[in-house]
Amino acid sequence: QVQLQESGPGLVKPSQTLSLTCTVSGDSITANYNYWSWIRQPPGKGLEWMGAIAYSGSTYYSPSLKSRISISRDTSKNQFTLQLRSVISEDTAVYYCATSVRGKGFRSWGQGTQYTVSS
């Protein structure tokens, strides 16, 4: 089964950049028709899809975040990375990485990691 693991600092100051890495085991991030997403859940709110990088390297971003978000990958390490710039307190959330196949829903998730924006 595919396994995903988030890693990175759990605290960032306002106006700075939030960074997280997802390490994938059991499948290749370049395998045909696989998509690799970042999803978050602020306190007391629902899940929010942030963006994804496809097996081809193409990226897709939520319109509400497109001015601040970047998703990249390191194929040699089978990892993909989230960067969210100019963070504010409302960016505090549990952040998840997850994977899906074309035409289907998410089939595997990381455990999630708390990220707090605070001075």
Contact 43, 28 (CB under 8 A): no
Q: What is the token pair recorded at 78? A: 């089978």
Q: Is the pLDDT score of 77 beyond 90?
A: yes
Q: Is the pLDDT score of 35 beyond 90?
A: yes
Return the pLDDT at 103.
Answer: 79
Average pLDDT, the chain: 97
b/e string for 58-76 if b means 16 or more Cβ within 10 A?
eeebeeebeebbbbebeee
- Over range 29-50, report the average pLDDT: 97
Q: Using the Cα atoms of residue 11, residue 15, residue 17 and residue 20 in order, give the sign of their dihedral.
A: positive
Distance CA 69, CA 34 (A): 20
Return the pLDDT at 102.
Answer: 87
Please give the share of the chain, as a percent, with pLDDT higher than 70.
Answer: 100
pLDDT digits (tens, 9 = 90+) for 10-27: 999 999 999 999 999 999
Distance CA 38, CA 36 (A): 7
